[in-house]
C-alpha cells in the first residue's frame, strides 16, 4: 500500500473505533466459545474471564490466552475422553490453535483488520460523489479520492486474505503435527513397538528433533535477512558497544571523559521547598 495515498485518504477515527469494537467483539465471542464449550461455568464468570483475557491481550500479552487455552483443554479433554477423535473435538482443537496463532500476531493483525474494516464501513456508509454537485474541479477531486479509496480497500482485502491463508496454513500444519502424537491407546502401543524396533530409540528420535530445530532456525534467519538498513546499522552498533563495553569504558576513563566512580543510578534530589519566613 502506498503510504502517501494512505495519509491523503485517512479513514475517520469513529469508523476505526467502530471497526475495532466489531473486531474485538467477534474475537471475544470466539474466545468465550473456545474456552467454555460444554462447561457449566456461570455466564457471569465466563464474561469476567473472557474480559480479563481480552484486556491482557490488548495490552500486548498473549501468555494469558495460552494459559487459559491450556486450562480449558485440560478440563475439556478430561471430560470428552482422549480415546476418540470426533468432530467436536477436532473443531475445538482447530479453534484453539487458531486463537493461539492469532494471539501471537495480535498487534499486526489488529491494525490490519482495523484499517480494513474501518475503510469498508466508511465506503459503504458514505454516498459516492456525483458529478456536477459542486464545482467541476471539486467534484472530480472527490470522485478520484473515492476511486482511490476503493483501490486501497482492494489491496487491503488481498493482504487480509493472505494473512488468513497463512493462519489457516499454520493451523493445518500444527494439526498434522499434533495428530502424529500417540494420544490413543492403540497409537501408544504402536509408538512403543516402533521405538523398540528402531534400536530402542524413542520415536521420532533425535533426527526428528534436530529437523524441528533446523526448521525453526531457517525461519528465524529468513526473517532476519529482511532487516532494513536502519535496523541492521542499529544492531551492529549495539552489538559493537556490547562486545567492547569494557575497552570503550577504560578508554573514556583514561581520557578523562568519564569519572572512575562506578556507574550507579543516583537518586533524584528532592525538590527545593519554599523557605518559610
Chain residues that interact with another protein, rule: CB under 8 A: 195-196, 200-202, 205-207, 209-210, 213-214, 217, 220-221, 224-225, 227-229, 231-233, 235-236, 239
Closer to another protein by CB, 71 or 219: give it: 219
Cβ burial 128-158 (10 Å sphere, 16+ → b, else e): ebeeeeeeeeeeeebeeebeebeebbeebee
- Closer CB to another protein, 41 or 216, in the complex: 216
Comparing CB distances to another protein, the nearer of 127 and 229 is 229
Q: How far is the CB of 218 from another protein (least distance, A)?
A: 11
User: Minimum distance from CB of 208 to another protein (Å)?
Assistant: 9
| CB nearer to another protein: pick between 87 and 221 | 221
Least distance in angstroms from the C-beta of 244 to another protein: 13
In 3D space, the residue among 99, 93, 98, 88 whose CA is nearest the CA of residue 65 turns out to be 99
User: Of 225 and 261, which has the nearer Cβ to another protein?
Assistant: 225
How far does the chain reach from its first CA to its final CA, in angstroms? Answer: 66
Q: Provide, rounded to whole angstroms, the least separation between the CB of residue 229 and another protein.
A: 4
**Minimum distance, C-beta of residue 173 to another protein, in the bound complex (Å):** 22
CB of 214 to another protein, least distance (A): 7
Which 8-state DSSP code applies to residue 82? S
**Are the CB atoms for 160 and 116 separated by under 8 Å?**
yes
Nearest distance, CB of residue 248 and another protein, angstroms: 18
In the complex, minimum distance from the CB of residue 221 to another protein, in angstroms, rounded to a whole number: 6
Cell numbers found for residue 172: 493445518
* Closest C-alpha among 35, 51, 58, 52 to residue 114: 58
Residue 154: φ, ψ to 5°: -65, -45
- Number of residues in the chain: 277
Phi, psi of 162 (to 5 degrees): -60, -40
- 78 or 207, CB closer to another protein? 207
- Is residue 138 classed as helix, strand or coil in its secondary structure? helix
| Residue environment code for 39-75, b if the CB has 16+ CB neighbours within 10 A, otherwise e | eeeeeeebeebbeebbebbeeeebebbeebbeebbee
Nearer to another protein, 44 or 207 (CB): 207
Q: DSSP state, 277?
A: -
Residues 73 and 96: beta-carbon distance below 8 Å:
yes
Residue closer to another protein, measured from CB, 237 or 254: 237
Q: What are the grid coordinates assigned to 213, written together?
A: 530445530
CB 167 within 8 A of CB 102: yes
Amino acid at each position: 500500500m502506498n503510504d502517501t495515498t494512505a495519509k491523503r485518504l485517512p479513514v475517520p477515527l469513529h469508523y476505526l473505533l467502530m471497526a475495532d469494537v466489531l473486531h474485538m467483539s467477534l474475537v471475544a465471542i470466539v474466545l468465550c466459545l473456545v474456552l467454555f464449550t460444554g462447561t457449566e461455568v456461570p455466564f457471569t464468570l465466563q464474561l469476567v474471564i473472557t474480559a480479563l483475557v481480552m484486556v491482557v491481550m490488548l495490552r500486548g500479552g498473549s501468555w494469558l490466552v495460552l494459559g487459559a487455552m491450556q486450562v480449558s483443554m485440560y478440563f475439556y479433554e478430561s471430560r470428552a475422553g482422549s480415546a476418540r477423535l470426533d468432530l467436536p473435538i477436532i473443531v475445538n482443537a482447530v479453534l484453539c490453535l487458531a486463537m493461539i496463532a492469532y494471539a501471537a500476531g495480535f498487534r499486526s493483525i489488529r491494525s490490519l483488520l482495523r484499517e480494513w474494516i474501518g475503510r469498508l464501513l466508511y465506503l459503504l456508509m458514505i454516498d459516492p460523489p456525483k458529478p456536477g454537485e459542486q464545482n467541476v474541479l471539486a467534484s472530480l477531486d472527490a470522485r478520484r479520492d473515492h476511486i482511490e479509496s476503493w483501490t486501497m480497500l482492494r489491496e487491503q482485502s488481498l493482504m487480509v486474505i493472505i494473512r488468513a491463508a497463512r493462519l489457516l496454513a499454520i493451523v493445518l500444519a500444527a494439526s498434522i503435527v499434533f495428530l502424529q502424537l500417540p494420544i490413543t491407546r492403540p497409537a501408544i502401543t504402536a509408538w512403543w513397538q516402533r521405538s523398540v524396533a528402531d534400536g530402542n530409540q524413542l520415536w521420532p528420535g533425535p533426527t526428528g528433533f534436530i529437523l524441528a530445530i533446523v526448521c525453526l532456525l531457517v525461519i528465524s534467519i529468513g526473517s532476519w535477512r529482511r532487516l532494513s538498513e536502519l535496523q541492521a546499522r542499529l544492531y551492529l552498533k549495539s552489538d559493537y558497544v556490547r562486545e567492547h563495553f569494557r575497552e570503550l569504558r577504560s578508554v573514556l576513563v583514561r581520557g578523562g571523559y568519564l569519572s572512575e566512580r562506578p556507574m550507579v543510578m543516583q537518586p533524584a534530589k528532592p525538590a527545593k521547598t519554599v523557605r518559610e519566613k
